Amino acid sequence: MEYRYVGLYTDQGGRPVALDVFHRAHAHVEDAIAWLRDSGLERYPFTSFVANAAWMAVVGMAGALVRWFQRLCLTGCLASAEPKALRWRIWHAPARLVRSGRSNIMRILDGWPDAETILGANRRIARLT
């Protein structure tokens, strides 16, 4: 068994156990911020402050939508994947949604490694709507 030691230095008063709980809860916040930074939060494409503020709002809303999509529609390792993995495995997949008759048909390139995952997510979305 291997142990991992982490030091926590703070000037806050209180019991060590309560401080550790606070520190671990804050780590989730930092993970969410890092996730949003990977999604475009650290890039400011405009020279206008107002336009960049709108950009930040859009990135935040898109991040929330992607998180809900992960929780409701994806399974396995993609349910908790980082934005870069989702980008290359799901969003950039060579696929097309075709409407034929009264049904939607998902067409994915033959041999795409995550084709079954994408089709499963499409079925779950169809059940939600």
Per-residue pLDDT tens over the stretch 110-129:
999 999 999 999 999 989 87
Q: Are residues 107 and 117 in the same domain?
A: yes
pLDDT at 72: 93
Q: Tell me the residue type at 15.
A: R
pLDDT at 58: 93
pLDDT at 40: 86
Q: Are residues 78 and 39 in the same domain?
A: yes
- Residue 1, domain member (yes or no): no
pLDDT at 30: 81
Quote the number of domains for the chain: 2
pLDDT at 93: 92
Q: Are residues 58 and 108 in the same domain?
A: no
Distance between CA atoms of residues 44 and 6, nearest Å: 35
pLDDT at 69: 93
Instruction: Find the domain containing 122 and state its range.
Output: 93-129
Taking 50 as the pLDDT cut, the residues of the chain under it are none
pLDDT at 92: 92
Look at residues 67, 117, 125 and name the one whose alpha carbon lies nearest to residue 95.
117
Task: Phi first, then psi: give them for residue 98, nearest 5 degrees.
Answer: -115, 135
pLDDT at 24: 82
Q: Are residues 40 and 50 in the same domain?
A: yes
Q: What pTM does this model have? A: 0.72
pLDDT at 104: 84
